[in-house]
Structure 1
C-alpha cells in the first residue's frame, strides 16, 4: 500500500509539474491538429476556438491541418504525440465513423484523453428538385418504389455522410446507390447539377442552396427539430423512430495525458461556451453548446463509435 501511495503521489506531482510548466510559459505554443482541409466547417470551428483559447489562457494555440484517410492521419499523429498538453486533436463525427470503418491508419477513439465536447447538432437530409417528395418520408417512399434508380453522394467511405444514409437504408429497407467523393464539397456540386439526387450535409453548408430553391431540405438527422432551423422537421415527427444522429465538435489529447492538464483545458473551454457570443457562434452552425467533462466525454465518444461499428458489421458493409 505504501508503494502504491508513493507511485500515485509521483504521478500527481508529474501532472502538477506539467501544468505548472505550461502556465510558466505564456509564450508557449500549443498545436491543435485539424484532420480536415483548410476552409472546411471543422477547420473554421477549430480556428475560432483556437483563437478564443489563446486569448483566455494566455498562450498561443495554432492550427495545424493534417489531412488524409478521412481524418485518420491527423488522429494517428496525435495518438503518437507526447502527452504533455502541447498537441491536441480537433474532432468531429469522422473521428468515430472512420475508426469504426477500420480505415488506415487504425486508431481507437476511446483511448484518447478526453478534453472537451463543445457542441453537437444535426446534419441535413437534402435532395435535388428532380427527386419527388417534399420531406424525407415522401422521398423514401418514392425511392423504395424505384430501387437502384437514384444515387446519393458522400465525403467518402466511412464518412458521416455515408454512414447516416446507410443507417436510413437499413431502417427503411431502401435501395439507393452510394457514390463516394474525395470531399463533401464535390458531392454537393453534383447534387446541385442533378447528377446526384440525395445526400446529407451540414446545415450551414446546404441552407444557402435550399433558400435559393436549388435543393430541397427533407429532414434533420436528429430526433427533433433544431432551434436554428425551425422550419425543417426532425426524424420522429416524420415517423422515423429511434433515429437520432448528430455531428459534434470537440478536443482530444494524446493517450496518457494527465487529468490535471485535460481538466484545466476543459474548464477553460466550458467557460468559453458559457459566453453568449461563443454560444451564438456555435448556433450559427446549428450546434447546441455542450459542456461535458472527463468520463462523460469518453462515454459519448464510445457510444457513437459502437453505434457505427454495429451498423457496419450488422450490414456486412463493404468499405473498399
Structure 2
C-alpha cells in the first residue's frame, strides 16, 4: 500500500513523540486506574478515622482516583492491619494505623511482622494523648484523680481503644507511673472509648487528641492534662503533664501510612508524594480537628519504616519497665 500524506505525517509525529514516551516510561511514573482503599483498623470517629478522612479526598484528587476509607476494626487494629499485610502489593490498598508500633509490644501473637511485612508511604503527623475524665467524676486536676484512684483501688474503669492500641499503652504508662489500680476496659476503637467516657460507663481514660478534642471543647469530657512536656496549641488551656504534676506521663502517637511489602518503588513514590502534598495542604485542618502536627523528615519509605522500628523498641521498653507483658 502506497503511504498517503496523512499516514506519513502520523508516522512522523509518532517518531517525534517516541523519545518522550520512552522518557515517561523510564521515569516509572505510576497513576492508579481504579479507586484505592485506605484501611482504618478501628471503628469510625477514632483518631485514625478522622485523620484518614481529612486526607483521603485531597489525596484522591491529586492521584485522580477516589480514596475509599474502609473501617476494619477488631483485636486492637490487628484484623485490619493483617488484611493490608496480605493484600496485593499493587498500590491499591494502604493502611493508616497509629497503633502499628504499639501492637508488637503488647500483643503476644501478631499474625504479621510490623516492619518486614510493610513499606512506608508517609507520616501524617504526631499528637499527644490526653488524660480525661467523665465530667461527673469529682476531680478537677490530675493530682485529685490520682488520689481518688489510690483511695479506691480497682473501683474505676479505664476506657481503652482496644488491646494493643496507643490508648491502651498510654493507660498502662499512666497506671504504672502513678501507681494506681484500675479496671482496664477495652472498646473497639477510640470513638467507642470516648463515648463510654461521656456516658459514664468508664470514668477516665487517655484518648488520642484526635478522638477527644471535639468532646473536650464541648464539655463532654474534662481534660486534666496533655501527655506532653509542653501545652498543645490545639488545647492551650489544658496543662501539660509536667504542669499537672505527672511528669513521667509523656506519650504521643504518630500516624504512619503504610503499604504491603513488595509494593514497587514507583508506586510508593507516587503515593508518598500525594500524601505529603495533602498533609502539607491540610496542616491547619489536621491541627484544628485532630490536634495532629506534621513534621519533616519522612520523605522516603526507609525513613517511615525507621520511625516504626524505633517506635516498636520504645513502646516495648515502656511496657516492660511497667511490668506489662504481652497478652
Q: In the TM superposition, what whole-angstrom CA distance separates every residue of 1:259-302 from its partner, at most 9, and x where no partner exists?
A: 33323322222222232xx1111112111123412333222212
RMSD: 2.8
Over 3 Å counting, the alpha-carbon distance change for 1:130 and 1:318 in structure 2 is farther
Which one of the candidate residues 35, 40, 48 is aligned to 1:42?
A: 48
Give the superposition deviation at 1:52.
0.8
Over 3 Å counting, the alpha-carbon distance change for 1:77 and 1:18 in structure 2 is farther
Over 3 Å counting, the alpha-carbon distance change for 1:21 and 1:243 in structure 2 is same
Q: Is the 8 A contact 1:27 1:60 kept in 2?
A: no
**TM norm structure 2:** 0.80
In the alignment, which residue of structure 1 is the partner of 2:104?
Answer: 99
Alignment of 1:165-204 (within 5 A): 165-204=171-210
Give the superposition deviation at 1:164.
0.6
Give the superposition deviation at 1:57.
2.1
In the alignment, which residue of structure 1 is the partner of 2:30?
Answer: 22
Alignment of 1:226-265 (within 5 A): 226-265=232-271
1:299 and 2:313 matched? no
Give the superposition deviation at 1:142.
3.5
Separation (CA, whole Å) in 2 of partners of 1:52 and 1:210: 27
Unaligned segments of structure 1, at least 5 residues: 1-15
Runs of 4+ in 1 over 4 A off after TM superposition: 16-19, 211-214
Equivalent pairs, count: 300
Q: Is the 8 A contact 1:152 1:179 kept in 2?
A: yes
Give the superposition deviation at 1:108.
2.1
Q: Is the 8 A contact 1:30 1:85 kept in 2?
A: yes
Q: Is the 8 A contact 2:142 2:246 kept in 1?
A: no
Unaligned segments of structure 2, at least 5 residues: 1-23
1:290 and 2:295 matched? yes
Q: Which has the larger radius of gyration?
A: 2
**TM norm structure 1:** 0.81
Which one of the candidate residues 105, 110, 135 is aligned to 2:115?
A: 110
Over 3 Å counting, the alpha-carbon distance change for 1:241 and 1:17 in structure 2 is farther
Over 3 Å counting, the alpha-carbon distance change for 1:58 and 1:218 in structure 2 is same
* Paired residue secondary structure (1:82): coil
